[in-house]
Structure 1
Amino acid sequence: MKTGQAPRQSLRSAAASLPRRLIPLRSAAAFCGGLALEVRAAPAHDALSPAGVQASHIFSLWTVTLTVCSLVFAAVLIALLLAMARAPRASRDASPDLGSLERPERRVRRVVSAASIASVVLLFGLLLADIMTDRALSRLPVADAVHLEMTGHQWWWEARYADDTPGSGFAVANELHVPVGRPVIISLKADDVIHTFWVPNLHGKKDMIPGRESTIEFRADRAGTYRGQCAEFCGLEHALMAFTVVAEPPAQYDAWVARQRTPAPQPLNALQAQGERLFTTGNCAGCHTVRGSSANGVLGPDLTHVMSRPMLAAETFENTPANLESWIKAPGSMKPGTTMPASQLSAQDLNALVAWIRTLQ
């Protein structure tokens, strides 16, 4: 178990015991549990640590904006303190000084005019910096790009890698792999409500609107694992709708693609064969695809290589046999609001099903 997993599970257990009317609090508690894990051992999720050229442009704009705003704030604060220090002291019985109504205050007028002009210049400067950043973001060279399609669902992510040759395409869930130094073009779609694609280490936010397709382009220049998050409230489990982007050297990426294109292995014993039969003839096959078997559902994630993913349920919990079994048995207790129904299998059948799913490496 990873460091921080126990506190996270305890938070989730406590949240699950709350009444239904307090479901928003259950999601908040689960999210806080997620933060506990993120702090200790998690993929990078930091806009201030860019790992690609697009994120670097955004970070530069943020730095300029922060610097200008900080200087303006400091200047206003200093002016306020000087005004307070120089203000004449008067007693309660003193009459108000109305002399400024009859005599022009040229010095004050010059100071206010200069400050107004400086504010306009700074605002136009920030606008120019914003425009230049936007132009830089749109000029990413995209020759030899990796093309894929990402769809946001309530509450998970589906990524489909384009076919280089007929029949070679494949789908993964909640996990992207990209080669370092090579541009990536992602077509973004939403299946139900508005979602927002956001990987702060690699790029800014991009809305995913039902019925409309948009694209986002980025390039990872540093190998690593980066956390993505839905940044638009999309329902009960919005806080637990995350994914990872694994940026790796081209050779490792090519090896990963080759593994993902292979079908699921055949069962090696009677227990695994029973598990496959339960999966393909039961409700599981109505929602999930496992290439190499007769299961071809499209409502849920593709499970062909599910055991190669470190996390389950859109980065909600660690992918271990115990968590997998609990997830199949009672998904609502682990992720309140999930659309996956609870299993009605006996303990023996559940053991066989998990034994077969564990072969899907």
Structure 2
Amino acid sequence: MRTPVVLAAALLLCACGEGRQSVLNPSGHDALLVYDLAMVMFVGALVLWLLVGGLFVYVTRINPREMSRRLAEVLIIGGGVLFPVVLLGGLLVYSLPLMQAPREADEGMRVHITAEQWWWRVEYERPDGTLVTSANELRLPVGRRTGLVLNAHRVIHAFWVPALGGKVDMIPGRETYLSFLPEAAGTYRGQCAEFCGASHALMAFETVVMAPEDFEAWLTAEARDAAPPDTEEAARGAQVFAREGCGSCHTVRGTQAVGQVGPDLTHVGSRLSLGAGILGVAAPDFANWIAHTETLKPEVAMPSYDHLPAADLTALAVYLGGLE
């Protein structure tokens, strides 16, 4: 009996942890709806399991006898047809209205998110229709519903922030929609939840929920051009950036770098992570990423710049880290 007990305890304990990427830690209205639905379905499944198990024990252990044809027909029709129809129908009626809120279009802000391999293009639509471009990070105001317009490039991805809401597929050529109503400020982890290639597991993003006034201040700052280098080493790094052709793939607004292939780097130093959730944003992290990109993220489009002299690599990392 010891082994089954240990296995059962392990299964129960492995799902008890709460964190910033957990459906057990709902921090938004939509996530709470999913959590409540999961609890209702779990309780319903448990009751059904107990009824079926109890009936099985009764007819095989407690009262093992031959059934009459009438009783057998009652069990088959009642337990095999009527009961499942009523139970599943009730769950369906309960769950369908829950899908309306996360899909509804309203007058709130819209954020356009495109899933790439293997990073996230994020564009905030302002009231005048202009877009503020960022990457690999989503910021939202607390207490306000924000619409997310989801697209994908090349292959199917899935957008998922468990603490804030449900999961939606992102399909090339087809626009999908989701919305979040965060209820608690904090930082939550999102993840691509559809296998999309070699670096699928390395395609995460931070979701920062902020007070509305803080969010507006951040969005205003995010819309500005990049600040010029403020140190001699950062200026040297900007020269390395231009010399190595980084601007053919990346944009740094306010400079001649206008590439659209890779993430926008205008304010990359102010983000919480680098490489779609792989590294931090300190200068050594930038240097590590630049020199070992293909090792850190298999099959990524960006080549490793391991040929750069150490001084140039350091200067480039300082320049990128200063783009705040």
**Normalised by the shorter chain, which TM-score bucket?**
0.7 to 0.9
* Post-superposition offset of 1:138: 4.1
**C-alpha distance in 2, partners of 1:291/1:270?**
20
Q: 2:208 aligns with which of 241, 246, 257?
A: 246
How many Å apart are 1:67 and its aligned residue?
Answer: 1.3
Do residues 346 (structure 1) and 309 (structure 2) align?
yes
Query: Taking structure 1 as reference, are residues 270 and 136 closer, same or farther at Cα in structure 2, changes over 3 Å only?
Result: closer
How far 1:49 sits from its partner (Å)? 2.5
Say which of 18, 31, 46 aligns to 2:22. Answer: 46
Indicate yes or no: 2:80 matched with 1:110: no
Aligned to 1:164: 127
Distance of 2:110 and 2:83 partners within structure 1: 46
Q: How many angstroms does 1:354 deviate by?
A: 1.6
The answer as to 2:47 corresponding to 1:65 is: no
Checking the alignment, whether the CA contact within 8 Å between 1:155 and 1:314 is kept in structure 2 is yes
| Residue identity in the other structure for 1:115 | G
Q: How many angstroms apart in 2 are the aligned matches of 1:107 and 1:43? A: 50
Q: Deviations over 1:244-295 (max 9, x none)?
A: 1111111111121122122111122332222112212322111111112111
Alpha-carbon distance between aligned partners in 2 of 1:284 and 1:278, rounded to the nearest angstrom: 9
Q: Please provide the CA RMSD for this pair.
A: 2.3
Aligned residues: 307
The CA deviation at 1:323 is 1.8
Distance in 2, matches of 1:325 and 1:137, equals 40
- The structure with the larger Rg is 1
- 1:43·1:225 contact (CA, 8 Å) conserved in 2? no
Equivalent position of 1:359 in the other structure: 322
SS of residue matched to 2:303: coil
Matched, 1:202 2:178: no
User: TM-score, normalized by length of structure 2?
Assistant: 0.88
Does the Cα contact within 8 Å between 1:288 and 1:302 map onto a contact in 2?
A: yes
CA-to-aligned-CA distance 1:197-220 (integer Å, 9 cap, x gap):
111222211111111112211211
Distance change (3 Å), C-alpha of 1:268 and 1:134: closer
Distance 1:287-1:47 versus aligned 2 partners, 3 A rule: same
Letter aligned with residue 42 of structure 2: L
Alignment of 1:1-361 (within 5 A): 44-86=20-62, 88=64, 104-116=68-80, 117-139=82-104, 142-143=106-107, 145-165=108-128, 169-343=131-305, 344-361=307-324
- For residue 164 of structure 1, report the CA deviation from its aligned partner: 3.4
Q: For 2:90 and 2:195, locate their aligned partners in 1 and report how far apart those are by CA, in whole Å.
A: 33
State the SS of the aligned residue for 1:110: helix
Cα distance, 1:169 vs structure 2: 3.0
Range with greater deviation from structure 2 (277-286 or 223-232): 277-286
Tell me the CA shift for residue 87 of structure 1: 5.4
CA distance in 1, matches of 2:295, 2:227: 31
Asked if structure 1 preserves the Cα contact closer than 8 Å seen for 2:104 and 2:179, the reply is no
- Kept after mapping to 2: 8 A contact 1:57/1:136: no
Letter of the structure 1 residue corresponding to residue 37 of structure 2: L
Letter in structure 1 aligned against 2:250: H
Which whole-Å CA distance do the structure 1 matches of 2:104 and 2:271 have between them?
33
Where structure 2 has 5 or more consecutive residues not aligned to the other structure, the ranges are 1-15
What's 2:4 paired with?
A: none
Contact 2:159–2:167 (Cα < 8 Å) also in 1: yes
Structure 1 segments of 4 or more deviating over 6 A?
A: none
Distance in 2 separating the partners of 1:354 and 1:202:
33
Structure 1 CA distance, aligned partners of 2:292 and 2:311?
16
User: After superposition, what is the alpha-carbon deviation per residue over 1:83-117, rounded to whole angstroms, capped at 9, x for unaligned?
Assistant: 221355xxxxxxxx9x77xxx44334334433232
The 3 A distance-change label for structure 1 pair 109 and 190 is: same
Q: 1:240, CA displacement in angstroms?
A: 1.0
Between the aligned partners of 1:271 and 1:111, the Cα distance in structure 2 is 81
Of all paired residues, the percent bearing the same amino acid is: 36
Secondary structure of 1:318's counterpart equals: coil
Answer with 129-138 or 310-319: which moved more.
129-138
Give the CA deviation at 1:43: 6.4
Closer/same/farther in 2, CA of residues 122 and 43 from structure 1, 3 Å limit = closer
Q: For the structure 1 residues 204 and 294, does the alpha-carbon distance in structure 2 shift closer, same or farther, using more than 3 Å as the test?
A: same
Structure 1 runs not aligned, ≥5 long: 1-38, 89-96
TM-score by length of 1: 0.79
**Is the CA contact (8 Å cut-off) linking 1:146 and 1:185 kept in structure 2?**
yes
- What is the letter of the counterpart of residue 205 of structure 2? F
Q: CA 1:165–1:131 in 2, change beyond 3 Å: closer, same or farther?
A: closer
